[in-house]
A = this chain, B = another copy of it.
Amino acid sequence: MRVLLIEDDRSLADGIATALRHGGYAVDLAVQGREGVALAHAAQPDVILLDLGLPDIDGIEVLRQLRSGGLTSSVLILTARDDLTSKVRGLDAGADDYLTKPFEVDELLARLRALERRAGLSVSAELTIGDVTINLASHEVTRAGEPVKLSRREFTLLRALAERPGHILSREQLEDKLYSWGEEVSSNTVDVHIHNLRKKIYPEFIQTIRGVGYKLGAK
C-alpha cells in the first residue's frame, strides 16, 4: 500500500509520514503542489493525502490536475479550513474524503483503512474468440474491429457458445439458454439463428458437429 503525502508543513508532514510508516504504508512526500502532481504520476500511489493550503498552487487546483491527468488513486484532503464551501468544492473536484486539522492519527488510519476497503475494480467482462470480441455488458460485438449488430436471441446463442470455446453444445442445451421453462419451442429456431449469426460474422466461425451440435473456434 503506497501513500503520497502532499503537505508543506515540514514537521507535520514528518510526523504523519512516520506514523504511516509505522502502520505499514510506503510513504512518498511532496512539500509543494507541482512536486506533488509530478510524484503522483511517477509513484502511482494507492492513496494521496492532499493538504489544501499549499504555498505554490491551490490544493483544489492540484486535485483537478491530478484527475484530469487520469489519475485514479483515492484522494483524502487534509485541510485547516473547516468552512463548508471548500469541503464541498474538494469533494466535487474528485476527492474521496477529507479530514479537518487538527486530527488524530488514529482517525487518519481509520479513514485510510476505509479507503482501502473500496478497492473493488470493475472489470469489463469481454470475451474474445479469434478476431471476434463480445462485450457482455453492452452487448456489443465486433468482428475484426467492425461492429456487428445482433438481435437478442443471436447474442444469447453467441455468448453461450463463446463461454466455452471449443466445447460442443447440443441444440437442446442451446435451447435451454434461449427459453425459460414453459415456453419451449418446437421448431428449428436454433438452426435459423445459427444461420443468421454465420451470415453476420462469417460461416466458419461456428462449426457444426453433425449429429451432436455446434461449437466455436479452437479448430
Contacts and interface: CB of A to CB of B under 8 A. Distances in A.
A106 B88 CA distance: 8
Interface in A182-199: none
Given A123-B67, A139-B168, A97 B97 contact: yes
A124 B89 CA distance: 11
B210 A152 contact: yes
A110 interface: yes
A168 B138 contact: yes
Contacts of A218: 138, 140
Given A119-B118, A168-B139, A125 B215 contact: no
Interface residues of A, number: 48
Contacts of A84: 104, 106-107
Nearest to A165: B138
A211 interface: yes
A138 B120 contact: no
A215 B96 CA distance: 27
Interface in A116-133: 117-125
Nearest to A98: B114
Shortest Cβ-Cβ A-B pairs, 3 listed:
A92-B125, A152-B211, A88-B110
A53 interface: no
A168 B209 contact: no
Nearest to A96: B118
Given A137-B164, A151-B210, 9 more contacts: A84-B104, A87-B110, A88-B137, A91-B114, A94-B124, A118-B119, A137-B168, A138-B168, A152-B210
A113 interface: yes
Interface in A44-76: 67, 72, 74
Among A110, A120, A135, chain B packs the most CB atoms within 10 A around the CB of A110
A87 B103 CA distance: 12
A115 B209 CA distance: 36
A94 B74 CA distance: 17
A120 B123 contact: no
